[in-house]
């Protein structure tokens, strides 16, 4: 696969009281187009990742809203795959370009979440789980807590190891002017932050966030007419699995992610050891530890050691979630998968500011829907 990224933009993530969903979509579109130095009329197709729009804003037919905001009449496809909506939107855009039918595509991800109460949003987010899980009174923290409890039990990791993920990602976010939480936290603060669903505490959980991100993609022939050297998406792999956690064989791995990663490495022609940095789906701290193992960076049951000994922190062997991840940069659901690749693109271009890693050549993005019902992995290279 060879799809060029020629523009990228992320809005501030946070509680953006004065921004509507339409405002966020508009800002991300204009930002990405400006970064690509292209007008909207040169875009031939657009994909929009969004999970909750109809529920939180009563707005369906979001494809037409996007078209209206951009002043275009091109095909626009809204993609919903829970928290992997953005990643799947990107994956579909790659397929559109690879088909040869389109030379340029706009990928957007946006979510407006803070107009609702926490209980209402928790209920809405549980739409990504099964009806049995909803009827059991589960929340998403509860679902991932079921996975965390099993992991701690099976592999001897401690709750402080989970907290270590939060500490690391908050540190990275403190260097990111777009992050929701730009302050560091300590292990002690995480451990005392109040239990949400045992063993996960408040600071083990990603927040409720507004935000949007955009990418402009192009075919190699289009990109190379503008400049010889480009950054390319070399792999885009999308797998699904059961909606229900209880229907899986194991609670300490996400099979759809393992399959997507395995095929992505083959498609891109790179080994896990060649990945310089990754943006992974840390919706809860346990999810980052599982990701490190599912992606093949660490053996099963050893992911937590990498967090303990600093290997995945800025300055370590393979920094993970330099944006601050979902935990500290924020998690506007539909935007996350797109923002992950925006971050990787900025890192590969050397324009990531204070959180810039020195050896950015191969970046990997890992985006999960629900408890693993959807997984998308992208690999981008210089």
Query: What is the contact surface with other proteins in residues (CB under 8 A)?
Result: 118-120, 122-123, 126, 130, 132-139, 141-142, 145-147, 149-150, 153, 194-200, 244-247, 251
Count other Cβ atoms within 10 Å, centred on residue 310.
Answer: 14
- Residues 378, 91: contact at Cβ < 8 Å? yes
- Residues 379, 363: contact at Cβ < 8 Å? yes
- Residues 82, 326: contact at Cβ < 8 Å? no
CB of 242 to other proteins, least distance (A): 11
Cα distances (Å, whole numbers) of residue 74 to 64, 66, 88:
10, 10, 19
CB of 233 to other proteins, least distance (A): 37
For residue 83, indicate whether it is catalytic: yes
CB of 67 to other proteins, least distance (A): 34
Say whether 237 sits in a helix, a strand or coil. strand
Residue 224 or 246: the one with the smaller Cβ distance to other proteins is: 246
Residue 141 or 214: the one with the smaller Cβ distance to other proteins is: 141
CB of 147 to other proteins, least distance (A): 8
Residue 69 or 122: the one with the smaller Cβ distance to other proteins is: 122
- Residues 92, 79: contact at Cβ < 8 Å? yes
CB of 149 to other proteins, least distance (A): 5
CB of 337 to other proteins, least distance (A): 25
User: Please, what's the b/e burial string for 237-270 (b: 16 or more CB within 10 A of its CB; e: otherwise)?
Assistant: bbbbbebbbeebeebbbbbbbbbbbbbbbeebeb
- C-alpha 162/C-alpha 169 separation (Å) is 11
Catalytic pick from 83, 205, 283, 329?
A: 83
CB of 126 to other proteins, least distance (A): 6
Alpha helices in the chain (DSSP H): 21-36, 53-57, 62-70, 85-98, 118-125, 131-135, 140-155, 159-173, 187-191, 220-226, 255-268, 285-294, 303-308, 325-328, 333-349
Catalytic pick from 170, 172, 331, 378?
A: 331
Residue 100 or 194: the one with the smaller Cβ distance to other proteins is: 194
- C-alpha 295/C-alpha 272 separation (Å) is 7
Which phi and psi (to 5°) does residue 17 adopt? -60, -35
For residue 61, indicate whether it is catalytic: no
Tokens 């991840």 correspond to 325
- C-alpha 163/C-alpha 181 separation (Å) is 16
| Closest C-alpha among 257, 234, 197 to residue 4 | 234
Show the tokens assigned to 57. 């804003």
Residue 230 or 242: the one with the smaller Cβ distance to other proteins is: 242
Say whether 55 sits in a helix, a strand or coil. helix
Question: Which residues are known to be catalytic?
Answer: 83, 331
């Amino acid at each position: 696969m060879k799809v060029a990224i020629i523009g990228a933009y992320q809005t501030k993530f946070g509680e953006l009281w004065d921004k509507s969903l339409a405002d966020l979509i508009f800002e991300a579109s204009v930002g990405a187009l400006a970064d690509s130095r292209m007008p909207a009329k040169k875009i031939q197709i657009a994909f929009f990742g969004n999970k909750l729009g109809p529920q939180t804003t009563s707005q369906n037919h979001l494809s037409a809203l996007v078209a209206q905001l951009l002043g275009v009449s091109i095909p626009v496809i809204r993609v919903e795959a829970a928290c992997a909506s953005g990643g799947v939107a990107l994956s579909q855009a790659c397929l559109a370009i690879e088909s040869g039918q389109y030379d340029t595509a706009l990928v957007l991800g946006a979510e407006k979440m803070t107009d609702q109460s926490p209980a209402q949003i928790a209920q809405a987010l549980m739409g990504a789980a099964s009806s049995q899980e909803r009827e059991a009174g589960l929340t998403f923290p509860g679902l991932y807590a079921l996975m965390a409890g099993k992991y701690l039990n099976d592999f001897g990791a401690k709750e402080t190891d989970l907290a270590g993920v939060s500490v690391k990602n908050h540190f990275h976010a403190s260097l990111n002017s777009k992050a929701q939480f730009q302050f560091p936290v300590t292990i002690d603060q995480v451990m005392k932050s109040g239990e949400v669903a045992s063993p996960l505490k408040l600071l083990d959980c990603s927040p409720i966030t507004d935000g949007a991100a955009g990418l402009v993609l192009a075919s190699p022939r289009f990109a190379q007419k503008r400049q010889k050297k480009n950054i390319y998406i070399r792999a885009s792999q999308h797998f699904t699995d059961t909606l229900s956690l209880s229907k899986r064989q194991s609670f300490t791995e996400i099979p759809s992610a393992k399959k997507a990663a395995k095929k992505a490495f083959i498609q891109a022609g790179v080994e896990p050891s060649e990945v310089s940095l990754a943006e992974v789906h840390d919706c809860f701290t346990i999810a980052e530890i599982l990701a490190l193992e599912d992606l093949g960076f660490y053996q099963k049951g050893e992911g937590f050691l990498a967090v303990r000994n600093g290997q995945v922190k800025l300055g370590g062997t393979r920094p993970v979630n330099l944006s601050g991840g979902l935990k500290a940069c924020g998690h506007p659901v539909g935007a996350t998968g797109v923002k992950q690749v925006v971050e990787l693109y900025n890192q590969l271009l050397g324009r990531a500011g204070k959180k810039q890693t020195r050896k950015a050549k191969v970046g990997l993005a890992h985006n999960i829907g629900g408890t693993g019902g959807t997984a998308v992995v992208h690999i981008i290279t210089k």
